[in-house]
Chains A and B, each alone.
Chain A
Amino acid sequence: MVGVEASCQPGPHEMPRRGRDRRVTAPRPGSEPSVPYLARLPSRHQLVSTIAGVRRHLVGPGGQWLALLVAGRLLASAVAVWLLVLGPLSGVDLVLLAYGPVTTAIIVARPSLRRRRATWALDSLLALACVVISSDWRSPFYMLWLTTLALPAVCLPLRRAAWLAAASPVLYLAVAFLWGAGPRPDRLTSETLAIHLLLPVVLVGGLAYAADALRRLQDERSERERLAIEAERRRIAWELHDSAKQRLHAAHLLVSSLNGGVPSALAPVVHGAATELESAAADMDTSLSELREPLEGRPLHEALRSRAAELHRADGPRISVSGSAPSLSPLVSAHLYRIGCEAITNALRHADASTIDVHLEPDADTFRLRVRDDGRGLPTERRPMATGLVAMEGRAATIGARLTVQSPPTGAGTVVMLELPTSEEAR
């Protein structure tokens, strides 16, 4: 088993639990410690997490882009300073000069802002306003305006970025001319016009192309890794099934044939050995199903539906699966599937319910998976061996989802609710 766990390391559910774990909540009646620690040190906690956030975003995946962006913006601001101090400075100029460094700091500090289209539009328009206010279309702020195109160029899909590349120089010149910052005819040279038309196209186009190529490379690599992990899991599972499990069955068969044929003093020993072997085979079944790639390309609701059909017994509770899942990454789907299955199994085992209702509900920015039963509800004390619930929480944390397990106060049934943010940030 050690070998299995080691090779599963890249697998999602084996990952160490970090940061987001705190968001996972499951009510544990009566056992929750009070929280003086957090109440006492909120500022320090926030400071640490802010620093960690900045570090993660500058150094972590995609950090190179951000470092490049920051360098570009600061350089453009420096150019503006240099060009402005050559002439007479006014109060407005000082405000304009502050724009670059201040917005750069905001963008670094608030990662969520970086992904919003509204931020990009506002930033770009404000930089254009700087250009207009400084009253010259060859403004010192031209470079700064160029850098505001970098974020959308990197984040947008290639086709949209191409539109941006084509539209931005036109927009720039139109705004500059309409607001009276355009060139006097005697100072308009074809070289400057060509540069102003070309530069945004080259910058946005180049960045978008590079970002797209990198994205595809990354997707390919993670897909390859996923396939390699799956192949390895299949191999291990096959070996477990083909060899170890068959031997266990054979051993169990041999030992159990002694039942009733040994002196009564030895009977408990034989019985114990047979029981142990039986449990070992059951454990191995669990490990095997853990190793299995559950969805096989099917959508989540279909996979859950067929699992529900497998689990349903003629004399057991009715299990219904309704709703549908949005398209999610295979990894996330696999975790959701396991959480759903575990919730159904728990309801079957412990709830003594007559119906189990599984509902999948995709929303604009959240996907909800709800498993509700009409059984006896949660025990007042959490069982010490509730490993199923712990595993569900671990899975939820791994994919950044929020898991709640509740029994309504009326005492009827249990609701397991999983909420997964599906906005861009969560992907």
Chain B
Amino acid sequence: MIRIVVVDDHPAMRTGLRTVLDAEPGLVFVGESAGDEESLWPLLRSVDPDVVLLDYHLPRGDGLQLCHRIKRDVLAPKVLVHSAYAGGALAVPARMAGADGLVDKGIGARELFEAIRVIHRGEPLLPAVSQTLLEELYERVAVDDRPILGLLLNGAGKSDVAAALGMNVGDVHAAVTRMLGRLRVEVPAARGM
């Protein structure tokens, strides 16, 4: 049984996910949150899910910042980021935030179930990033943060990065938060709102 928490600000999406997850053998829906601080953390602590299905575009803050915070926990659940714009541009910050997988919101139920099972087995599920896009994203983060980004994308953990660069882990986390802000993928046309 894979126990799943759904974090999405849209009620229709939450209801839809609850319905399909409940109907699927082997998966069980154990709770939902709109992504607000008040409900999310108590929920995660009380139900202790195996997988968090996390929306990227949330009204307050973004899903990857939440993911980054969830994954700092020692017994963190697997996180599958669920976004309407799951392309390469989101794969880089998703990897940095420690997400286990990234899937498009437009995929069908079967594919979603499969993705949940894959990341639950511990296999990463992140789209490939082209070299050109990678260079473009490097340009967007501060020069001081680029070595951290490079190490993280090569698969190093936060503590490995801290050791390699002679920093403390808190500073690495702060850098990740900063870079997630710089690499935010906006909803088309909703910039500046």
A residues at B contact (CB < 8 Å): 233-238, 241-243, 245-247, 249-254, 256-257, 259-260, 274, 278, 281-282, 285, 288-289, 291-293, 296, 305-306, 308-310, 312-314, 319
- B16 within 8 A of partner (CB): yes
Q: List 24 A-B contacts (CB under 8 A).
A: A234-B191, A234-B192, A237-B188, A238-B187, A241-B84, A246-B13, A246-B84, A246-B105, A249-B16, A250-B10, A250-B17, A253-B17, A253-B108, A254-B16, A256-B109, A257-B19, A259-B109, A274-B108, A282-B106, A291-B188, A309-B130, A309-B135, A312-B132, A319-B132
Complex CA distance for A70 and B57, rounded to whole angstroms: 61
Residues of A within 8 A of B133 (CB): 309-310, 312
Residues of B within 8 A of A253 (CB): 16-17, 20, 108-109, 112
Which A-B residue pairs are the 7 nearest by beta carbons?
A237-B189, A256-B108, A250-B16, A257-B109, A257-B20, A246-B10, A292-B189
- Asked if A293 contacts B109 (CB within 8 A), the reply is no
- B60 within 8 A of partner (CB): no
Residues of A within 8 A of B17 (CB): 250, 253
- Asked if A233 contacts B189 (CB within 8 A), the reply is yes
Q: A238-B187, A254-B20, A259-B110 are in contact. Are A249 and B105 (CB under 8 A)?
A: yes
Complex CA distance for A253 and B10, rounded to whole angstroms: 14
Q: A246-B13, A254-B20, A312-B132 are in contact. Are A237 and B109 (CB under 8 A)?
A: no
Chain A CB count within 10 A is highest, among B112, B129, B132, B135, for B132
B134 to chain A, nearest CB (A): 9
A52 to chain B, nearest CB (A): 38
B residues at A contact (CB < 8 Å): 10, 12-13, 15-17, 19-20, 23-24, 57, 84, 87-89, 105-106, 108-110, 112, 128-133, 135-136, 187-193
Complex CA distance for A293 and B189, rounded to whole angstroms: 6
Residues of B within 8 A of A278 (CB): 106, 108
- Asked if B108 contacts A308 (CB within 8 A), the reply is no
Chain A CB count within 10 A is highest, among B10, B106, B136, for B106
Q: Is the interface of A mostly helix, strand, loop or mixed?
A: helix
Complex CA distance for A314 and B132, rounded to whole angstroms: 9
**CB-CB nearest in chain A for B10:** A246
Complex CA distance for A250 and B110, rounded to whole angstroms: 14
Residues of A within 8 A of B128 (CB): 314
Complex CA distance for A272 and B98, rounded to whole angstroms: 37
**CB-CB nearest in chain A for B137:** A309
Q: A237-B190, A250-B15 are in contact. Are A310 and B108 (CB under 8 A)?
A: no
Complex CA distance for A292 and B110, rounded to whole angstroms: 32
- Asked if A309 contacts B132 (CB within 8 A), the reply is yes
Chain B CB count within 10 A is highest, among A233, A246, A254, A291, for A246
Complex CA distance for A233 and B106, rounded to whole angstroms: 23
Complex CA distance for A229 and B105, rounded to whole angstroms: 29
- Asked if B20 contacts A306 (CB within 8 A), the reply is no
Complex CA distance for A233 and B88, rounded to whole angstroms: 26
- Asked if A234 contacts B190 (CB within 8 A), the reply is yes
Residues of B within 8 A of A249 (CB): 13, 16, 84, 105-106
Complex CA distance for A291 and B186, rounded to whole angstroms: 13
B79 to chain A, nearest CB (A): 19
Chain A CB count within 10 A is highest, among B84, B189, B191, for B189
Q: A234-B189, A250-B12, A289-B188 are in contact. List 10 more A-B contacts (CB 8 A).
A: A238-B190, A249-B16, A253-B17, A257-B19, A278-B106, A282-B106, A285-B188, A310-B89, A314-B130, A319-B132
